[in-house]
Amino acid sequence: MAFSEGLSDTGELTGRGNPAVRGTITGVGTFLGGILHTLPFLIPSYPLALYVAIGVVAFELLALAILRWHFFETSFARSFASVTLGGAAIVAVSAALGTA
C-alpha cells in the first residue's frame, strides 16, 4: 500500500504533500494496524491472548473514531457508531467464515 500511495501522484496537483512522506505514513499505519492485534497471540495462554487481542482491537477502533472525529470534523458519536458498526460487520463475516 505504501508503495502505491507514494507512486500515485507527486502531490503537486492535489496538494497532498511529498510522496515519500505519504508512503511512509501509509506503510507505518498498515504495519501497526496489522501487527498490534496479532502480537497478543505470542502469549502462551490462549484465553488470555484472546482477551488481550480484543482489548487491543477495541483500542484501535476507539483511536480510529477519534481520528475520524478530529480530521473529518464529524461528531464523536457518529464517528464511534460508524467505526463500531464497521467492526461489527468484520466480526460477523469472520465468524461466518470461521464456522464454514
pLDDT (0 to 100) of residue 36: 86
Short-list 85, 58, 87, 64, CA closest to 76: 64
Distance in angstroms (rounded) separating the CA atoms of residues 66 and 46:
30
CA angle 62, 65, 68 (to 5 degrees): 150
The residue to which cell 492485534 is assigned: 37
Please tell me whether residue 89 adopts helix, strand or coil conformation. helix
pLDDT (0 to 100) of residue 33: 81
Q: Are 59 and 78 in contact (CB under 8 A)?
A: no
DSSP for residue 38 = T
* Residues 22-74 pLDDT 10s: 778 888 888 988 888 889 999 999 999 999 988 998 998 899 999 999 989 88
* Residues 73-87 pLDDT 10s: 889 999 999 999 998
